[in-house]
Amino acid sequence: MSGSASGELTLRRITDQIPHDLMTEILLRLPAKSLARFLCVSKTWASTIRSRDFANSFVTRSSTRPTLLAMVDLNVSYFRKFYFFSFPHRLNPDDAESCRLVQLGVINSGDPYTTTYHSVRGLICLETESGPVICNPSLNQFRTLPETQSNPNIEDEVCFLGYDPVEDNYKVLLLRRPAFHRTAQNASHDIRVLTLGDREWRRIEGVSSHVPTIAGRCINGVLFYGTRFGDVRVIVSFDVKSERINFITAPNDGVGIHYRCLTDYKGKLALCGAMIDGISLLVLEDAEKHEWSCKTFALPHSWRDFLPERDRLFNVKIRDSGDIIVIPHFFGHKSPAYVLYCNPERISIKRVDIEDALPCKECNYRCGISVFTDHVESLMFL
């Protein structure tokens, strides 16, 4: 027997002698990429790591230490590469090594554009010309979702990812509609939903035609995104478990305030808007009664100077400590990538550049950078 085979046999004997509860607790403390490699240690380890209970426990533990995730979309000729950087909510500006590079690889060669939305329990939905793609940066895996029936009247698709904590299911909501230049009222609307793992999309009937205007956010089993009916701003809610869609009337922009993104504020949905001297939140208090409350966070008047363009879309994370993390939603080719750390109590702001750690600085290719808040590691094998 070779030394390698003997060593593997000895390792298996040792691991088989470890009590299952203790082994599980040890494995839960390891990163996702290490666990993926340990699938070949033994059948017991593989069965444990691939189990749904273990995966959920892993995400729960990972949720106590969420990170920021930067996705670099590198356009090389007719190919696209996606690089993922995970870094902590609190960055050290003197420590560029705090960014951890994970290369996902080449995805959807030839696609002229790719749109991303938010991270849901470690999974990200990419909307491409060839259809929705789900990827897990923690495991360097991606899956192209099943094709829908072709329709010559459908020219655009928008997809959102949601999670149902009751049934423990991920679902993709797909809105298929004519091009943006056509009005939502005249659109030939087609809404479908797919449970990850299924092969067939299900049609949702009886929903008023609408065009998404604000990217989605999934909170406690409900997927939210924004739209408009005429001059009225509306938040669309999709209950992931029941697959019901409802419309919630939301306040319009105030004087000098433009609400452009959705965020999670203490477990509640909030519309986030920029003011001259701070950030304003419209917090959804009662979806059935369409009731909202307003909260403001004061910042230095100069904080808007950090944003590349006036009223540009940005992501906001309000930490339990009260600190606010502000990140522009998208960084274009050769534009600086950075994170803003704001402290309303001290009325202070600090900018931390992250561009030096990104691969697009070292090449001449076109690239875009999207940053997600509250990303966690996932053991969802695709």
Helix (H), strand (E), coil (C) string for 53-106 = HHHHHHHHHHCCCCEEEEEEEEEECCEEEEEEEEEECCCCCCCHHHCEEEEEEE
15-32 confidence digits (pLDDT tens): 666 787 888 888 899 888
Most confident of 94-108, 212-226, 305-319, 360-374: 212-226
253 domain-assigned: yes
Q: Are residues 223 and 347 located together in one domain of the fold? A: yes
319 pLDDT tier (thresholds 50, 70, 90): confident
381 domain-assigned: no
CA distances from 343 to 279, 299, 321, 323, 324 (A): 11, 7, 9, 5, 6
Q: Are residues 302 and 244 located together in one domain of the fold? A: yes
380 domain-assigned: no
74-108 confidence digits (pLDDT tens): 666 556 677 777 777 665 555 545 444 445 444 54
Nearest one of 217, 208, 151 to 184, comparing CA atoms = 208
233 domain-assigned: yes
Please list, in sequence order, all residues whose beta carbon lies within 8 angstroms of the beta carbon of residue 272, skipping any fewer than 6 positions away.
Answer: 259, 260, 261, 262, 263, 279, 280, 281, 316
Among the ranges given (91-95, 129-133, 350-354), the one the predictor scored with the smallest mean pLDDT: 91-95
Q: Are residues 91 and 25 located together in one domain of the fold? A: no
Q: Are residues 33 and 160 located together in one domain of the fold? A: no
141, two tokens: 């895996």
Q: Are residues 191 and 270 located together in one domain of the fold? A: yes
The number of folded domains in the chain is: 2
Specify the pLDDT at position 152: 55
- Burial status of residue 306 (CB atoms within 10 A of its CB: 0-12, 13-18, 19 or more): middle
Specify the pLDDT at position 184: 47
Q: Are residues 353 and 280 located together in one domain of the fold? A: yes
Q: Are residues 24 and 90 located together in one domain of the fold? A: no
Count of Cβ atoms closer than 10 Å to residue 346 Cβ: 9
260, two tokens: 């452009």
Q: Are residues 284 and 164 located together in one domain of the fold? A: yes
pTM surpassing 0.85?
no
- Reported residue count of the chain is 382
201 pLDDT more than 60: yes
123 pLDDT tier (thresholds 50, 70, 90): very high
Q: Are residues 21 and 131 located together in one domain of the fold? A: no
Which residue range(s) make up the domain with 371? 57-375
239 domain-assigned: yes
Q: In what order do the strands lie in the sheet with 324-328?
A: 314-318, 324-328, 338-343, 348-353
CATH number at residue 311: 2.120.10
* Alpha-carbon gap, residue 28 to 290, rounded angstroms: 41
Specify the pLDDT at position 99: 47
Q: Are residues 96 and 45 located together in one domain of the fold? A: no
382 domain-assigned: no
Q: Are residues 320 and 250 located together in one domain of the fold? A: yes
